[in-house]
Amino acid sequence: MQNNIRNNIRKIHATVLAKIKPTPEEREKLAELARKIEGYIVEEGVPCEMVGSAARKTWISGEHDLDMFIMLPTTLSREELEVEGLRIAKSVADRANSFEMRYAEHPYIHARFGEYRVDLVPCYRVNSVRELKSAVDRTPFHNQYVLSRIRGLEDSVLLLKQFMKRSGVYGSELRVRGFSGFLCELLVLRYGSFLGVLEAASDWQEGLLIKPGASTDASRRAAGVGAGTGTGTDADVDAEIAPGNPWEPLCVIDPTDPNRNVAAALSLDQFYTFVDAARGFLAEPSIGYFFAEPKPRMTEHEILAAIAERGTDLLAVVFGIPDMVEDIVYPQLYKMEQSVLTLLKEHGFAVHRSSVGVQVQSAGGEGGAEGGDNVVLLIELMSGSLPPLMKHDGPPVYMRKHAERFKMKFEDEETFSGVYIENGRYVVDVYRKYASAKHLLESKLLSCALGKQMYECASLGYTVLEGEEVVYAADFEFLSRFFR
């Protein structure tokens, strides 16, 4: 890398860090709250551990999240753990401004202390990873793994997280399907620095396997840790093509469990969006890869003009859902999207693009349980209508039994043609059942694989909008993103 580029990158890093690195005051405030909460828990005679980015000093300035794990003895039964854990968590949360119960593998408390959001999570205190009783118990081990290795690399983690946020690939929640904070830390450990990660990622190909190794201090130091330069290579860390799980573009072995992929939530397109951004930044470094001006929303007039100019046919499937956890809604939405596209394709419609999202039903509240939200599945078709005639493919002629049944079936049906032979198969030109994509979805949406909750919601009623009608159903933010 040339010196002037290197200097440019250094300047960018400094500018970015000045904005995202917590100040000593911010750190002290957080540490103070953490100590206070630790005190409350210890008062109950139970040890606790602060985990997550706050514990590792890899949180981005302005984020005020604190994860506190309440470590209970393994002598408790699962039920006792829940009861006792929640009792302690509540006794802490009683001092908070507000709190609510949330559910992961077991219940925990989400509390607000002033501007801070604090998760109080009961778990078992086990001596080694082999003794884990639930997935939650693993978190303290992740914490220890990173804590003991990350010193001096915190800035790289911060830069990587901010870079990923800007690219829209940060977060392992099922809406985003991107990179988790823990994954960012493992990548920095693996490649020695922010730039090391970007340089490696520029050559990534789906199917990549990254095995964790104890990244030695020596190798990290030699790579110029902390200055954000150089590419660290760990002698005891291997990368090769992963054999299994072809649907997972990246496999990063969990250092606490060789059977667990830390990057399991990452989608193929998010994987490559990061690869593409990494290449872009290295080719032409700029602050724009960390912070972007928000694009103005398109106006109704602009959206209508875009629809007209594209000449395609737009459809929107819309139905209401109650307030639900994103991680439950989004996998079902993505499943529904694929299933609906398959239905359309099976009926001869050429799909150009699609997008699915959840938007607030009424402007008067932030997705409250009362008004609920709307699911909007937007689909752009080359044409929403097809001719009445359709080719129906039958069996290859050589399959005699199938052939007989096929010919029998169409003997008495009204068709455009007799059964004829094309490319070695029987075919017959029949009347298309659904010449309109709108009618198809109106009739068959519920036969698609929608996921349990989405099926229940759509069963209560859904609307299929066409063409300009979609402007009055989907919000302009969503449509603006679709048309750009």
Instruction: Give the binding site for its own copies (CB under 8 A).
Output: 202-206, 249, 268-269, 272-273, 275-276, 279, 309-313, 348, 350, 352-353, 382-383, 386-389, 391, 397-398, 400, 403-404, 416-418, 421-424, 429, 435, 484
What is the rounded distance in angstroms from the CA atom of residue 140 to the CA atom of residue 148?
Answer: 12
Residue 298 or 386: the one with the smaller Cβ distance to its own copies is 386
Residue 33 or 197: the one with the smaller Cβ distance to its own copies is 197
How many CA atoms, within 13 angstroms, populate the side-chain half-sphere of residue 437? 29
Residue 69 or 170: the one with the smaller Cβ distance to its own copies is 170
- Write down the least CB distance from residue 284 to its own copies, Å: 12
Max CA pair span of the chain: 85
- Write down the least CB distance from residue 185 to its own copies, Å: 25
Contact in structure between 42 and 95 (CB atoms under 8 Å): no
Residue 352 or 409: the one with the smaller Cβ distance to its own copies is 352
Contacts of range 71-80, beta carbons closer than 8 Å, 24 or more positions apart: 71/46, 71/47, 71/123, 71/124, 71/125, 71/140, 72/46, 72/122, 72/123, 72/124, 72/125, 73/124, 73/125, 74/124, 74/125, 74/126, 74/131, 74/133, 76/124, 78/106, 78/133
What DSSP assignment string belongs to 77-108? -HHHHHHHHHHHHHHHHTTSSEEEEEESSSEE
Residue 144 or 312: the one with the smaller Cβ distance to its own copies is 312
Residue 436 or 463: the one with the smaller Cβ distance to its own copies is 436
- Write down the least CB distance from residue 273 to its own copies, Å: 6
Structure tokens at 275: 């690869």
Residue 67 or 313: the one with the smaller Cβ distance to its own copies is 313
Structure tokens at 324: 């639900």
- Write down the least CB distance from residue 275 to its own copies, Å: 6
Name the packing angle between helices 154-167 and 181-191 (round to 10°).
120
What is the rounded distance in angstroms from the CA atom of residue 418 to the CA atom of residue 434?
Answer: 21
Cβ contacts of 304 within 8 Å, gap of 6 or more: 468, 471
Give the helix/strand (H/E) hosting 251.
strand 250-254
- Write down the least CB distance from residue 268 to its own copies, Å: 5
- Write down the least CB distance from residue 349 to its own copies, Å: 10
- Write down the least CB distance from residue 49 to its own copies, Å: 39
Residue 227 or 427: the one with the smaller Cβ distance to its own copies is 427
How many CA atoms, within 13 angstroms, populate the side-chain half-sphere of residue 52? 19
- Write down the least CB distance from residue 292 to its own copies, Å: 14
